[in-house]
């Protein structure tokens, strides 16, 4: 008897036509339903047929689609699309494509890295916070949302299995953010009535990009990718131009949000990437000269061209006693420490800082706001998840840094791939610096940024292990070098 299951036998018997046979069967019923609902759904259904065929034949296209759905959020832009749950459909479609690779083509090698382990442990900390949550339904929703991102991180790590695919993944997200930042800049100058209370632009679309502070963090995390892709695009004018444009609009967009945490994160990522370049190139004297020159030029440009309200916003921190935003942060941080004292192990529940603040922990001398976010990823984690959350998120940050260090001496067989490999390492350092610094002032614990870095570092580990000449932490390599 053949050991293959019935599905595999049918798939092999159908041969190249197999994806289309299953596609027609699956989408046919969906199309019939859509025809009875709304004309807009008909167009979406037809587009879905083409997208489904592409993803089943090339699952990597599903990765790019998921990125677009996650960041562009078409349901927020076109409310009529919200009932379709397009992001959830993208997850399901990519799952099917991944399953086909595993069941039929046997092409997937399981990957488990320290950041992946801590990512799952962080999710477990969220689950453990639910029983004692101030609002269990909200914590369940937040945990489910993060669980979906963690799951997709694992899938995407297995599908981005070559250097060209990693480059494509990074370039896609860079261009998505460039498009959103372009729209933000245009809106800021063309529609000044849309400015928010601090004078800045606010965010774009919704979700983790809807607030100006949150948008600045998201842009900062991706900005090092654009810098590396621009450096790596030598000889390709169009790619180089697109990446330089992405860097320029990204920096401008962060500034226009008027987010002080965002600007600090931007400076941190530039400093981190510059430090990596100096250390790797060992051009220390020249590096110091360049740094001093850049600081002088930036200071002159900043003072000469920055709007007065931007300067006032950036320098207002020194007068925090009169700054309602700064005082509100101090109130939230005091409340967060009290939450931890009362709920030291599992916190007040994932996503429930504001609920706990308003119901129990608002300081008696706090300023007016009754419902306030933590305004710090560290206080947020401390209050909402307790010690389990603090340990797991710190473990995740440390493991990301460890993976960058671990792969530092790896040498890929192809010179161009090796150059890109170490460029991605530098990008991870920049992204991590931006997240750590900006996160001190913003509640970003559950956003997808850290999970993107988990994916990047896990891909680096895979490339170092399977495509490198050496990987310094493997005993066998040491034995070869000694011989």
How do residues 145-160 score in pLDDT, each as one tens digit? 999 999 999 989 988 9
If you search the block for the tokens 């069967």, which residue do you land on? 25
pLDDT at 319 over 60: no
If you search the block for the tokens 């609920």, which residue do you land on? 355
DSSP 473: T
Q: Quote the pLDDT of residue 120.
A: 95
What distance in Å separates the CA atoms of residue 461 and residue 301, rounded to the nearest whole number? 40
Percentage of the chain lying above the pLDDT 90 cut = 37
Pick from 203, 198, 199, 200: nearest CA to 214: 203
Q: Quote the pLDDT of residue 242.
A: 87
Question: What SS3 class is residue 412?
Answer: strand
Q: What average pLDDT does range 285-298 have in this prediction?
A: 64
Mean pLDDT of the chain: 81
Percentage of the chain lying above the pLDDT 70 cut = 73
pLDDT at 233 over 70: yes
Do 129 and 350 touch, CB atoms closer than 8 A? Answer: yes
Banded model confidence at residue 295, pLDDT cuts 50, 70, 90: low
Do 151 and 91 touch, CB atoms closer than 8 A? Answer: yes
| pLDDT tens figures, 18-48 | 655 665 566 555 555 555 555 555 666 666 6
Pick from 211, 213, 224: nearest CA to 250: 224
What are the φ/ψ torsions at residue 472 (nearest 5 degrees)? -65, -20
What distance in Å separates the CA atoms of residue 38 and residue 44, rounded to the nearest whole number? 10
Most confident of 6-10, 269-273, 383-387: 383-387
What are the φ/ψ torsions at residue 351 (nearest 5 degrees)? 80, 10
Considering just the CA atoms, what is the radius of gyration of the chain in Å?
24
Instruction: Pick left, alpha or beta for residue 126 (phi over 0 → left; psi -120 to 50 → alpha; otherwise beta).
Output: alpha
Give the C-alpha distances (Å, rounded to integers) separating 282 from 57, 290, 315, 408.
46, 13, 35, 15
What distance in Å separates the CA atoms of residue 201 and residue 184, rounded to the nearest whole number? 7
Q: Quote the pLDDT of residue 195.
A: 82
Weakest-pLDDT range from 59-63, 103-107, 269-273, 427-431:
103-107
What distance in Å separates the CA atoms of residue 231 and residue 422, rounded to the nearest whole number? 12
What distance in Å separates the CA atoms of residue 286 and residue 278, rounded to the nearest whole number? 9
Q: Quote the pLDDT of residue 1.
A: 44
What distance in Å separates the CA atoms of residue 82 and residue 341, rounded to the nearest whole number? 40
Q: Quote the pLDDT of residue 98.
A: 80
Provide the pairing of β-strand 468-470 with 411-412. antiparallel
> How many Cβ atoms sit within 10 Å of the Cβ of residue 396?
22
Tokens representing residue 33 in the block = 């339903």
Pick from 68, 131, 54, 126: nearest CA to 96: 54
pLDDT at 322 over 90: no
| pLDDT tens figures, 99-118 | 777 766 656 677 889 999 99
Most confident of 101-105, 175-179, 257-261: 175-179
Higher pLDDT, residue 399 or 5:
399
Give the C-alpha distances (Å, rounded to integers) separating 459 from 124, 138, 192.
23, 33, 43
| pLDDT tens figures, 33-89 | 555 555 555 666 666 666 676 677 788 888 888 888 889 888 777 777 777 677 887
DSSP 101: I
DSSP string over 128-174: HHSTT-SSHHHHHHHHHHHHHHHHHHHHHHHH--SHHHHHHHHHHHH
Q: Quote the pLDDT of residue 432.
A: 95
What distance in Å separates the CA atoms of residue 428 and residue 272, rounded to the nearest whole number? 10
Task: Give the number of C-alpha atoms closer than 13 A to the C-alpha of residue 353, restricted to the C-beta side.
Answer: 31
pLDDT at 4 over 70: no
pLDDT at 247 over 60: yes
Pick from 258, 243, 199, 254: nearest CA to 221: 254
> How many Cβ atoms sit within 10 Å of the Cβ of residue 254?
28
pLDDT at 347 over 80: yes
| pLDDT tens figures, 182-217 | 999 999 888 888 887 766 777 887 788 888 889 999
Q: Quote the pLDDT of residue 149.
A: 92
pTM of the model: 0.83
Do 384 and 352 touch, CB atoms closer than 8 A? Answer: yes
What distance in Å separates the CA atoms of residue 93 and residue 51, rounded to the nearest whole number? 10
Banded model confidence at residue 128, pLDDT cuts 50, 70, 90: very high
Tokens representing residue 31 in the block = 């199309």
pLDDT at 235 over 80: no
What distance in Å separates the CA atoms of residue 405 and residue 321, rounded to the nearest whole number? 42
Tokens representing residue 32 in the block = 């019939």
pLDDT at 475 over 60: no
Burial, 193: exposed, middle or buried (Cβ in 10 Å; 0-12, 13-18, 19+)? exposed
């Amino acid at each position: 008897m053949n050991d293959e299951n019935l599905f595999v036998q049918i798939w092999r018997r159908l041969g190249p036509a197999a994806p289309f046979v299953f596609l027609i069967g699956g989408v046919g019923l969906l199309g019939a339903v859509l025809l009875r609902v709304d004309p807009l759904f008909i167009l979406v259904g037809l587009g879905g047929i083409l997208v489904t065929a592409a993803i089943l034949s090339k699952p990597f296209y599903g990765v790019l689609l998921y990125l677009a759905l996650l960041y562009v959020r078409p349901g927020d832009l076109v409310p009529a699309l919200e009932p379709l749950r397009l992001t959830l459909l993208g997850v399901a479609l990519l799952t099917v494509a991944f399953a086909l690779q595993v069941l039929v083509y046997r092409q997937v090698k399981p990957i488990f890295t320290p950041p992946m382990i801590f990512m799952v442990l962080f999710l477990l900390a969220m689950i453990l916070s639910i029983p004692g949550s101030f609002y269990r339904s909200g914590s369940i929703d937040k945990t489910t949302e993060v669980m979906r991102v963690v799951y997709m991180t694992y899938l995407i790590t297995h599908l981005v299995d070559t250097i060209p695919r990693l480059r494509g993944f990074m370039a896609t997200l860079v261009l998505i953010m460039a498009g959103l930042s372009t729209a933000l800049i245009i809106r800021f100058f063309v529609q000044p009535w849309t400015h928010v209370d601090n004078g800045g632009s606010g965010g774009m679309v919704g979700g983790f990009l809807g607030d100006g502070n949150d948008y600045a963090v998201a842009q900062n995390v991706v900005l090092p990718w654009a810098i590396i892709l621009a450096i790596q695009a030598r000889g390709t004018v169009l790619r180089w131009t697109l990446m330089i444009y992405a860097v320029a609009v990204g920096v401008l967009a962060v500034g226009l949000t008027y987010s002080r945490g965002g600007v600090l994160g931007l400076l941190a990522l530039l400093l981190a990437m510059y430090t990596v370049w100096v250390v790797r190139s060992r051009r220390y004297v020249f590096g110091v000269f360049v740094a001093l020159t850049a600081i002088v030029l930036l200071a002159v440009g900043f003072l000469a061209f920055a709007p007065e309200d931007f300067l006032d916003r950036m320098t207002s921190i020194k007068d925090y006693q009169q700054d309602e935003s700064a005082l509100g942060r101090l109130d939230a941080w005091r409340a967060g420490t009290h939450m931890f004292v009362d709920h030291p192990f599992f916190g007040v529940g994932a996503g429930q800082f504001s609920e706990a603040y308003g119901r129990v922990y608002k300081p008696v001398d706090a300023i007016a706001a009754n419902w306030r976010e933590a305004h710090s990823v560290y206080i947020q984690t401390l209050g909402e998840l307790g010690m389990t959350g603090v340990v797991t998120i710190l473990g995740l940050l440390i493991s990301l840094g460890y993976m960058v260090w671990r792969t530092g001496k790896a040498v890929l067989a192809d010179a161009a791939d090796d150059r890109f490999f170490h460029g991605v390492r530098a990008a991870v350092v920049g992204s991590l610096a931006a997240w750590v610094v900006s996160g001190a002032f913003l509640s970003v614990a559950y956003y997808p940024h850290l999970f993107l870095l988990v994916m990047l570092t896990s891909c680096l580990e895979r490339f170092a292990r399977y495509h490198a000449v050496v990987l310094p932490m493997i005993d066998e390599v040491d034995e070869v070098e000694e011989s």
